[in-house]
Amino acid sequence: MRIAVVGGTGKEGRGMAARWARAGHDVFIGSREAERAAARAAGLQQEHPGLAGKLAGGDNVWAVQHSELVVLAVPYAAHTSTLESLKPVLGSRVLIDITVPLQPPQVTRVYLPAGQAAALEAQAILGSDAQVVAALHHVSAAHLRDLDHAIDCDVLACSDHAAALEQALRVIADLSVRAIDAGPLCNAVALESLTPVLLHLNRAHKGASVGIRITGL
């Protein structure tokens, strides 16, 4: 599949792009600065020779236009403006929104945005027909980046669009993690707000890089 990672030059985007390319997907890294994205794509190819899929970089709209599925990986401060710029070109593509509404520097405290969750705000901005999925809030960038590292963390994903959620769960599983259907999009409140708790644990247990597992499944 052709996957766009919008904001793909960030920490999270880096590991996801490489893992998906390893799994055979073609990955289009998007950035506000096309050259940074192109440099990141070239850098990842150098770092991981022999990836099964292609890696390329360009601006965010370019990345979406080349893709079948879009991952939104921008800081919350750029969330609304990025969505508005992508809205005209997104079409019926599935959008996996990994945004957590953090309020730096207080990233270890839950902050609820006006729309209760970034993903609910994305759905409101894009309209109710948009194929929004919220997921990938809990896997640390450090774990994603090390491609040989088995990730001891489940990925919870939620959406109001069943087919979109199914496609997202398949694509997420290609990161070599267990992907779990967490219900309707309003449950993004739970998924997003758990991240500050995990960041608190990382800080309290110096050097830790924690994750979550669902037990009893």
Nearer to a copy of itself, 48 or 145 (CB): 145
Binding of residue 108 to a copy of itself (CB under 8 A):
yes
Residues 6+ apart with CB under 8 A from 166: none
Smallest distance from a copy of itself to CB 79, Å: 19
> Under rule CB under 8 A, how many of the chain's residues touch a copy of itself?
38
Binding of residue 173 to a copy of itself (CB under 8 A):
no
Record the tokens describing residue 51, joined without a space: 């990836």
Smallest distance from a copy of itself to CB 24, Å: 27
Q: Are 16 and 151 in contact (CB under 8 A)?
A: no
Binding of residue 146 to a copy of itself (CB under 8 A):
no
Pick one of 29, 110, 164, 177: the residue that binds a copy of itself (CB under 8 A): 110
Reduce the DSSP state of residue 108 to 3 states and report it. Answer: coil
Q: Mark 115-144 as b/e (b = at least 16 C-beta within 10 Å).
A: bebbbbbbbebbeeebbbbbbbbbbbeebb
Interatomic CA distance for residues 141 and 207, integer angstroms: 14
Smallest distance from a copy of itself to CB 152, Å: 4
Binding of residue 149 to a copy of itself (CB under 8 A):
no
Could you list the residues that contact a copy of itself (CB under 8 A)?
108-110, 112, 116, 152-153, 156, 158, 180-184, 186-187, 189-191, 193-194, 196-198, 200-201, 204-205, 208-217
